[in-house]
Amino acid sequence: MTFEEIKKILGSKTIGIAGCGGLGSNCAAALTRVGVGALVIADFDVIVESNLNRQYYFHDQIGMLKVFALKQNLLMINPHVKVHAFDIRLCISDIVEIFRGCDVIVEAFDKAEMKHMIIDAVHTHLPEKHLVMGIGMAGWGDNDIIHCRKSDKLIVCGDESNEVSDQNPPLAPRVGVVASMQANAVLEILLGKNPLSKSTYN
């Protein structure tokens, strides 16, 4: 498939991004660059300086709500992308309401409890949707343990072992790897498996 053909397919798709921190902001940027037509983004947080070690924001955006800063940054990449920004702390009913019209939902929350909530919400209320999760990306190195696996419409990207803590902070390289894997998984859902693929993973 040529990039023009890819862009034509992606241009009609809408992706939901739940959380606009390290995973969500970087995943949204990757999806915007390849030509996804619309993004629905949700977060309640404000940008602080410590976010800049991994999140897709800039120093002069400190103090802004993440959803509005992200919308600004995505529009600088592609002024034609439609961004629906929700400044909201998501609960189950919001997830169902906001992401109902999306082709795929990307989970990009920080807290394990929120990750649990969205799995529950999507499986119970939106069972036809693919949900792409990011689990385990703290620290540095260990490229070889970052992976992707799936069960039906649930796809998990990450190392599934490195939890964020003071001694194991999230940093741009590993967070970016997992965010890009999530974006890559979204493409495989939307475009189908690459016919030129050499992978035996299905």
Within a 13 Å sphere around the CA of 60, how many CA atoms are in the beta-carbon half? 2
* Binder of other proteins out of 2, 151, 167, 199 (CB under 8 A): 151
DSSP state string for 8-74 = HHHTT-EEEEE--SHHHHHHHHHHHHHT-SEEEEEE--B--GGGGGTSS--GGGTTSBHHHHHHHHH
Give the whole-angstrom CA distance, residue 140 versus residue 148: 18
84 vs 153, beta carbon nearer other proteins:
153
26 vs 32, beta carbon nearer other proteins:
26
Residue 47 lies near other proteins (rule: CB under 8 A) = no
Query: How far apart are CB 25 and other proteins at their closest, in Å?
Result: 10
* Binder of other proteins out of 39, 132, 146, 156 (CB under 8 A): 156
Total of residues contacting other proteins (CB under 8 A): 36
Closest of 87, 189, 185 to residue 134, by C-alpha: 185
The tokens describing 193, both together, are 């498996």
Residues 20-39, mask of contacts with other proteins (x by CB under 8 A): -xxxx---------------
Within residues 55-74, the interface with other proteins by CB under 8 A covers none
Site residues for other proteins per CB under 8 A? 19, 21-24, 107-113, 115-116, 119-120, 123-124, 134-138, 149, 151-154, 156, 160-164, 170, 175
